[in-house]
Amino acid sequence: MKNRTIKTALLLFGATLFFSTNAFAQSQNRSERKKPPTFEELIEDMDANKDGKLSEDEIKGRLKKDFAKIDTDEDGFITEEEFEKAPKPKRQERRN
């Protein structure tokens, strides 16, 4: 009887530890995803010709969709200054 109680307690402890760790890991990932990229990160990822600016051909995603709004001087490039002044995208609703 005592042996069975110890096994049950260990099983419950292990299950609790597993689920709490899993929930914590998911909350960590969520906070990482919410952080928008910096201009330096975008340059590193997308600036194919390494000129320090982003042309419409080099970018993708929401940035490409809003290129005309962000490129305020209409020179065909997004500079760091334009990126910093760009309107922030509206938050999308969650899909269930």
pLDDT (0 to 100) of residue 58: 92
Q: Which of 87, 44, 62, 27 is nearest to 54 (CA)?
A: 44
pTM of the model: 0.56
- Helix, strand, coil percentages (3-state) for the chain, rounded to 5, are 55, 5, 40
pLDDT tens track for 30-78: 555 567 889 999 999 999 999 988 999 999 888 888 899 999 999 999 9
Q: In angstroms, what CA-CA distances link 93 with 31, 52, 90, 96?
A: 17, 33, 9, 10
- Tokens linked to 28: 């960590």
pLDDT (0 to 100) of residue 3: 80
pLDDT (0 to 100) of residue 24: 62
Coil, helix or strand at residue 64: helix
Distance CA 30, CA 16 (A): 21
